[in-house]
Amino acid sequence: MGNNHPKLVVIDGDVVMREAIKHVFPDTCHRLCAWHLHKNACENVKSEFSGKHIEGGVEYVCV
């Protein structure tokens, strides 16, 4: 990639990967993958919303 770096990196939330991106590409924005956000939200709040339909999906839960 020469002296170019990515503007954005999408990761799965791995702590080591996040720290490596900060170190190697300090000006690069990193975000979590939407699939992993949804999976984690479903696993961590399912008791709160058991049997209920959530309009808007993970975006609604995270806002």
Ranges of each domain in the chain: 1-32, 35-63
Long-range interactions of 57-61: CB distance < 8 A, separation 24+:
58/34
pLDDT tens digits, one per residue of 45-55: 766 666 665 55
How much is the pLDDT for 45? 75
CB within 8 A of 32, min separation 6: which ones?
10, 11, 12, 13
Quote the pLDDT of residue 36.
83
Write the pLDDT tens digit of every residue in 9-51: 998 888 999 999 999 999 999 898 888 887 887 777 766 666 6
What's the pLDDT at 56? 58
CA gap 53, 15 in Å, rounded: 32
Residue 38's pLDDT is 79
